[in-house]
Amino acid sequence: MPAYGNWINGREEASGATCETLNPYNQQPWATVAQGTVQDVDRAVRAARAAFEQGPWAAMTATERAALLRRLGDIIKRDAQELARIESTDNGKLYKEMLGQWQYLPEWFYYNAGLADKLQGDVIPSDRPNFMIYTRHEPLGVVGAITPWNSPGLLLIFKLAAGLAAGCTFVVKPSEHTPVSTVELARRIHEAGFPPGVFNVVNGPPEVGAALVGHPGIDKIAFTGATETGKKIAAQAARNLTRVSLELGGKSPNIVFADADLDVAANGAVAGIFAATGQTCMAGSRLLVQQDVHDALLDRIVEQTRSIKLGDPMDPATQMGPCANEPQLRKVLEYIDVARQEGASLKYGGQVDPALGGLFVQPTVFANVHNAMRIAREEVFGPVLSVIPFKDEEEAIRIANDTRFGLAAAVWTQNVHRAHRVAHRLRAGTVWINAYRVVSFAAPFGGYGESGLGRENGVDAIREFTETKSVYVELSGAPRDPFKLG
C-alpha cells in the first residue's frame, strides 16, 4: 500500500504511529498514513510562523506569489485525473464528480493569483491639513485549516488559494477518514516552488485538531464541518482571540412553485440531494412543493430515485456511491428510523441496499413531512429527501426560513418576478433560481445563522485573510506640542 506522512517545513515525514485509510466502496485498507502528535502540531506552526515572518516567502512581492499560484494551478490541471482517482478511493465519491472538481480547481488559483497584487489600500482625505492618511491590507499570519471528509481537496482550496494570495502560511489538519489528497496536494505545492513552511500538514485524530485550534501561534482557524464542532472550535479559539471562519451545516430548502417546469425541477431535486450521496453541506434536503403540483412532482422524483444506479465509484455508469464511513452510515440509518417514528411516509429506500450491502444506503424519499419533524430540522448528511407541501408564496418563505441554518436555497418557477422576490427574502448565503448545487471561484460562499461565519471564494475571501492598517504621515515637519492630539 502507498504510505503517506505528515508534511512539515517542506519535507514529508514518517512517524512511529500510522493508521490505514479505508476505501468506502469495498471497506478495504488502501493506504497507510502517519499519525501526528501535539508536538508535530507545534513544529508545524513554528515552521509556518518562521516562513511568514522571514525567508523567501516573507520577502516575496504579491506578483511573485501570484506566479507560484499560477504554477500550482497548472500542476493540478496536469494531475487532475490522478488526484480524482485518489480522492474517490479515499471518500467513495464518484470518480467522474471528483474529476470534474479537480479539473475546475485550478481556476481558484488563477483567480486568486489575479487578486494577489490588487489588494490596494486607500488614501483617505484627512481632516488635518498636515497629515496624509492611507491604508494597507496586510496578510493575517498563520492559518490553521481543518477540513472534512466529503470534499477534502475542494474545501481546502476554497481557503488555501485566497490565503496564499494574501501572503498567509498554513497548517492543515485533514479529516482522519480522508487525509491522502491533502498530502498529495502538499507534494505538488512543493513541486510548484513554494518555500518550506508555507504549507504544512499534520494528520491524525481529533486531538490533533484541538491542539491546532488552541495553539497560540495560530492567527486564524478556517474550518469546514459540522455545526456543533464549529461551535466548539469557536469557543476554544476565543481563548486566544484567534479569528475563525466557519463553513458549517445546512438544511437547505429547494422550493418548487406550481408554474415550474416539473421535469426540470425533478432533475434538480434529485441531483440536489442524491449527488455525492447527500454528503454535502448544501444538499437540498428539504423539498418544498406547492400543493397544486405536489403529487405530480413526487411521482416524478420517486420514479427517478428508483432508477439511480448504485455501485463502484470508479464505474462511469454509477450514479451514487457509498457513505464515506461506517459512523456516517449509522447516522443516516438512525435518522431514517426517526422519520418513520415521527410519521413521515416512506416512498422509496430507507435501508442498506440489499444487493450491495456494506456502506451503501438506498436513496430515500419521505413524504408527509412537516417542518417541525427532526428529519426536517436536523442535518442528516446523507441521501434522505424530505418532501414538504406548501400553499402559497408566503407559506413557502416562512417554512424555508424556519431553520437554524442558512447555507443555500433554490427557487423553481417560470415567473421572473417571483423568482427574484423570493430569492431576496430567503435567509441563505446562496440562492439558485431554476438550478441547484453550482459554485464558482468568483462568487462568495458561506451561510447565515448556524451555517457559519465568513465567506469563501470571490473577492470577499481574500479579505478574510488580511489585516487593515491605517498609516498617518505628518507632512509639515514642524515641532508639535507633545500634549496635543493631532
Residues involved in catalysis: 247, 281
Give the closest residue to 412 by CA, choosing from 272, 307, 258.
258
β-bridge mates for residue 171, sequence order: 144, 200
Give the closest residue to 179 by CA, choosing from 286, 33, 283, 64.
33
Q: What is the DSSP string of 250-308?
A: ---EEEE-TTS-HHHHHHHHHHHHHGGGG-STT---EEEEEGGGHHHHHHHHHHHHHTP
In this structure, are residues 105 and 81 in contact, taking their beta carbons and an 8 Å threshold? no
**Terminal-to-terminal C-alpha distance of the chain:** 68
Look at residue 117 and give its three-state secondary structure.
Answer: coil
Long-range contacts of 52-60 (CB under 8 A, 24+ apart): 52/139, 52/141, 52/142, 52/167, 52/168, 52/169, 52/197, 55/195, 55/197, 56/195, 57/167, 57/169, 57/194, 57/195, 57/197, 57/198, 60/167
**What's the half-sphere exposure (Cβ side, CA atoms, 13 Å) at 39?**
1
Q: What is the DSSP letter of 445?
A: B
Q: What is the DSSP letter of 449?
A: G
Q: Which distant-in-sequence residues (6+ apart) come within 8 Å of 102 by Cβ?
A: 76, 79, 80, 81, 83, 84, 87, 153
Q: What is the DSSP string of 242-264?
A: -EEEEE-----EEEE-TTS-HHH
β-bridge mates for residue 445, sequence order: 456
C-alpha cell read off for 36: 501526528
β-bridge mates for residue 346, sequence order: 366
In this structure, are residues 368 and 342 in contact, taking their beta carbons and an 8 Å threshold? no
